[in-house]
C-alpha cells in the first residue's frame, strides 16, 4: 500500500484536493436535480374535463354566463370522490335539474356521464406547465407518469452497469468528462421533446451518463485523499446531493414551466464538460494499471499545486518502480466482474454490501418521488429535506470517525425503516406527523447513503473499485426502479406501500453485520491487500516501504 505514502508526500489534503472537491461537488448538485425534477416538472395539477358550457366561448356568448361559473360547473361536471369536481368524467348533457334548490348532487346516474373525450382543463396557479398537462398524463393515462420515472431510473441502472467497468478500464476522469457532455446534450434535448415518447427517450439518455458522474466523482475524491481525510471528502460529496435538493426547489419555485426548468438544469453541464479537462486522473488507478508515465505526471502536478516543489523535483519513475514494485507485479493480474464473486473475501463483501444499496434506492426513491402524496407544500418540504440533510451529514462525519462504518450503516437502515413503519399507525388526518416521520426516515436513509459511499470504496481494491461501485449502483437503481411500482399496491390497501418501504431497510441491515470494519485502514490497491486485511488489521501511517523514505520527499 505504498501509494498512500506517495500521496502523503505530494499532499493528501492541500490546495489540489480543495479545488478538486469544489469542481466535483458543484456538478453533483446539478446532477441531483435531474433525479428529482419530476416532483415539479411532473406535478399533477388540479384538473377537470373540458365542458362546452364552461370552456366554449360560443356557448358563453349565448347568455348562459348569467348563471355564473359555479352553476355551469354543477350541471356539467359531476362530483368526484373528494367531493370536488370529478377529474375524469363529465355529464353527457347538462343536468339542469341539479340547479333545483331541492335537488342533491346524487340526482344523476353513472350512465349520464362520459370520459373526458374533449380533453382536460388544468389549474395553472401553481405550475404554468408540467409534462402531465402537456401530454394529458391523467385519469386512464396516469400510469404513464410512473412509467417516465421508471424509464429514467432504468437508465441510471444501465449506466451503472456500463460505467463501473468502463472506468476501471479507461480511467475515471475520461468517463466523467464524457458523461458531463452527454448529460448536457440529452438534457437540453429533453426540454424540446415534441412528444411524451421522445421525452422518455431523452430522459433515459440523460440517466445513463448520470450514473457515470455519480460513481466517478466519489471514487476520484476518495483516491486522491488519505485515510484521515477520506471521510471528510466523501461527506462533502454527499453534501452535494443535499445542496442539489435545495437548489432544485429554488429553481423550480422561480421557473414554473417544465421546459424552462429542464433547460436550466441541463445547460450548466456544458460548463462542467469544459473545465473537467483540468481535473487530474486518479494516479492510484494509473499506477496500478501500469501507466507509470502518466501517473508520474499527475503526481508531480499535484505536488506543484500543493506547494511541494521539492517533492515534485525528486519524484522520478525509478522511485515509483522501487516503491510500488510489489503492488505493480500483483495488480497486473487480470480482473473482471467475475473476480468479485470468484475470490472468497471479495465475494462476501460484494454479497453483503449490495442489499444496503438496494434498500437505499428502494426506500429513498419510493418516498422522494411522491412528495405530492404527503399533501404538503412540495417546495417547502423538499427544501426541508435538503436543509436538514446538511447538519445530519456533518453529524454523520463525526459519528463515522468515532464509531466506524459498520454500526452507523446498520443503525441508519434500521431507524429509517422504523420511521416509515411508524407511519402505518398514524391516521391520514394527522398529515403533519406523517410528513415529519417521512422526513425523519429520509434523513436516516441519507445517513446510509453517506456511509455506504465511503464504506464501499474502502471495501474493494483499486483494480476493481469502480467495478464494485458500479455493481452497487446497479443494486441501488434496481431498488429505485421497483419503488414506484410498489406504490400501486396502495390500490389494495393504503398501508401496503409503507409496510414494504419500511421492511426492506430493516431486513437489509442484517447483512451489514457480515462486513469487516474499515475505519482508519488504507485503501486496498490489490486483491492481495484485501486478503491481507482479513488476516491482519492495518494501522494508519504504517511504513512498509523504506525505499520511499530513502528519497528526499
pLDDT in tens, 390-432: 888 888 888 888 888 899 999 999 999 999 899 888 887 787 8
CA distance to 125, 261, 373, 428, 463, per residue, from 425 (Å): 34, 37, 17, 9, 48
Compute how many other C-beta atoms are within 10 angstroms of the C-beta atom of residue 210: 24
State phi, psi for 362 to the nearest 5 degrees. -65, -50
Q: Hey, what long-range contacts does 190-194 have (CB within 8 A, 24 or more apart)? A: 190/262, 190/266, 191/259, 191/260, 191/262, 191/263, 191/266, 192/259
What is the rounded average pLDDT of the residues 465-494?
81
Q: Which tens digits make up the pLDDT trace of 192-234?
A: 999 999 999 999 999 999 989 998 998 888 888 877 788 888 8
Contact 421, 502 (CB under 8 A): yes
Structural domains present in the chain: 3-44+136-535 (1.20.1250.20), 47-58+65-122 (no CATH)
Q: What is the mean pLDDT of residues 157-164?
A: 84
pLDDT of res. 65: 56
pTM of the model: 0.78
Highest mean pLDDT among 59-73, 169-183, 213-227: 169-183
**Calpha distance 292→134 (Å, rounded):** 54
**Is the per-residue pLDDT at 329 higher than 90?**
no
Whole-number Å distance between alpha carbons of 530 and 533: 5
- CB-hemisphere CA count at 13 Å for 104? 4
Task: Name the least confident of 63-77, 97-111, 300-314, 450-464.
Answer: 97-111
Phi-psi region of 171 (alpha: psi -120 to 50; beta: other; left: phi over 0): left
Query: What share of the chain in percent tops pLDDT 90?
Result: 22
pLDDT band at 325 (very low <50, low <70, confident <90, very high): low
- Residue 427 grid coordinates: 391516521
In angstroms, rounded to a whole number, what is the distance separating the alpha carbons of residues 77 and 80? 9
Looking at the chain, the whole-number percentage of residues with pLDDT higher than 70 is 88
Q: Which of 115-119, 416-420, 527-531, 549-553 has the highest mean pLDDT?
A: 416-420
Segment 509-529 shows an average pLDDT of 84
Q: How much is the pLDDT for 180?
A: 95
Q: pLDDT at position 522, please?
A: 80
| Phi-psi domain of 119 (left: phi exceeds 0; alpha: psi -120 through 50; beta: other) | left
- The pLDDT of residue 246 is above 70: yes
pLDDT tens-place string over residues 248-272: 999 999 999 999 999 999 999 999 9
Weakest-pLDDT range from 296-310, 316-330, 421-435: 316-330
Query: Higher pLDDT residue, 27 or 150?
Result: 27
Distance CA 117, CA 97 (A): 23
> Taking all residues of the chain, what is their mean pLDDT, rounded to a whole number?
82
φ, ψ of residue 48 to 5 degrees: the values are -150, 170
Residue 548 has pLDDT above 70, yes or no: no
Amino acid at each position: 500500500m505504498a501509494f498512500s505514502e506517495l500521496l502523503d508526500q505530494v499532499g493528501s489534503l492541500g490546495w489540489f484536493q480543495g479545488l478538486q472537491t469544489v469542481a466535483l461537488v458543484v456538478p453533483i448538485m446539478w446532477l441531483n436535480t435531474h433525479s428529482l425534477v419530476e416532483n415539479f416538472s411532473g406535478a399533477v395539477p388540479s384538473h377537470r374535463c373540458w365542458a362546452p358550457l364552461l370552456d366554449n366561448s360560443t356557448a358563453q356568448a349565448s347568455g348562459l354566463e348569467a348563471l355564473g361559473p359555479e352553476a355551469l360547473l354543477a350541471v356539467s361536471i359531476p362530483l368526484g370522490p373528494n367531493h370536488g369536481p370529478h377529474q375524469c368524467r363529465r355529464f353527457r348533457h347538462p343536468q339542469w335539474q341539479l340547479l333545483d334548490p331541492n335537488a342533491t348532487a346524487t340526482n344523476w346516474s353513472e350512465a349520464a356521464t362520459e370520459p373526458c373525450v374533449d380533453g382536460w382543463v388544468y389549474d395553472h396557479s401553481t405550475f404554468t406547465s408540467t409534462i402531465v398537462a402537456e401530454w394529458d398524463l391523467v385519469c386512464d393515462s396516469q400510469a404513464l407518469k410512473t412509467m417516465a420515472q421508471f424509464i429514467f431510473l432504468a437508465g441510471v441502472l444501465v449506466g451503472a452497469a456500463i460505467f463501473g467497468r468502463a472506468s476501471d478500464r479507461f480511467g475515471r476522469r475520461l468517463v466523467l468528462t464524457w458523461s458531463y457532455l452527454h448529460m448536457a446534450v440529452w438534457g437540453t434535448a429533453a426540454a424540446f421533446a415534441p412528444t411524451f415518447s421522445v421525452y422518455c427517450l431523452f430522459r433515459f439518455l440523460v440517466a445513463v451518463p448520470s450514473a457515470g458522474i455519480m460513481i466517478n466523482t466519489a471514487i476520484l475524491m476518495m483516491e486522491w485523499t488519505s485515510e484521515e481525510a477520506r471521510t471528510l471528502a466523501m461527506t462533502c460529496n454527499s453534501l452535494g446531493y443535499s445542496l442539489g435538493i435545495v437548489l432544485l426547489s429554488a429553481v423550480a419555485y422561480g421557473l414554473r414551466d417544465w421546459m424552462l426548468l429542464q433547460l436550466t438544469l441541463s445547460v450548466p453541464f456544458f460548463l462542467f464538460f469544459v473545465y473537467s479537462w483540468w481535473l487530474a486522473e486518479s494516479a492510484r488507478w494509473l499506477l496500478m494499471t501500469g501507466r507509470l508515465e502518466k501517473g508520474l505526471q499527475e503526481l508531480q502536478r499535484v505536488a506543484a499545486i500543493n506547494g511541494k516543489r521539492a517533492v515534485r523535483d525528486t519524484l522520478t519513475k525509478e522511485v515509483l518502480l522501487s516503491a510500488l514494485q510489489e503492488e505493480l507485479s500483483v495488480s497486473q493480474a487480470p480482473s473482471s466482474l467475475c473476480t468479485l464473486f470468484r475470490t472468497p473475501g471479495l465475494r462476501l463483501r460484494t454479497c453483503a454490501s449490495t442489499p444496503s444499496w438496494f434498500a437505499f434506492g428502494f426506500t429513498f426513491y419510493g418516498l422522494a418521488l411522491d412528495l405530492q402524496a404527503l399533501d404538503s407544500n412540495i417546495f417547502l418540504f423538499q427544501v426541508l429535506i435538503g436543509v436538514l440533510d446538511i447538519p445530519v451529514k456533518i453529524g454523520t462525519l463525526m459519528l463515522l470517525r468515532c464509531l466506524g462504518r459498520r454500526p452507523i450503516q446498520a443503525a441508519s437502515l434500521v431507524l429509517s425503516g422504523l420511521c416509515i413503519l411508524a407511519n402505518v399507525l398514524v391516521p391520514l388526518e394527522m398529515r403533519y406527523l406523517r410528513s415529519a416521520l417521512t422526513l425523519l426516515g429520509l434523513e436516516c436513509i441519507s445517513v446510509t447513503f453517506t456511509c455506504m459511499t465511503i464504506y464501499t470504496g474502502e471495501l474493494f481494491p483499486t483494480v476493481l473499485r469502480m467495478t464494485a461501485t458500479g455493481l452497487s449502483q446497479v443494486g441501488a437503481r434496481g431498488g429505485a426502479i421497483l419503488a414506484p411500482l410498489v406504490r400501486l399496491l396502495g390500490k389494495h390497501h393504503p398501508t401496503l406501500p409503507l409496510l414494504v418501504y419500511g421492511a426492506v431497510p430493516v431486513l437489509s441491515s442484517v447483512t451489514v453485520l457480515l462486513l469487516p470494519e474499515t475505519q482508519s485502514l488504507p485503501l486496498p490497491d490489490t486483491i492481495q491487500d484485501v486478503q491481507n486485511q482479513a488476516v491482519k488489521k492495518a494501522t494508519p501511517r504504517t511504513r512498509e516501504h523504506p525505499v520511499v523514505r530513502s528519497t528526499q520527499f
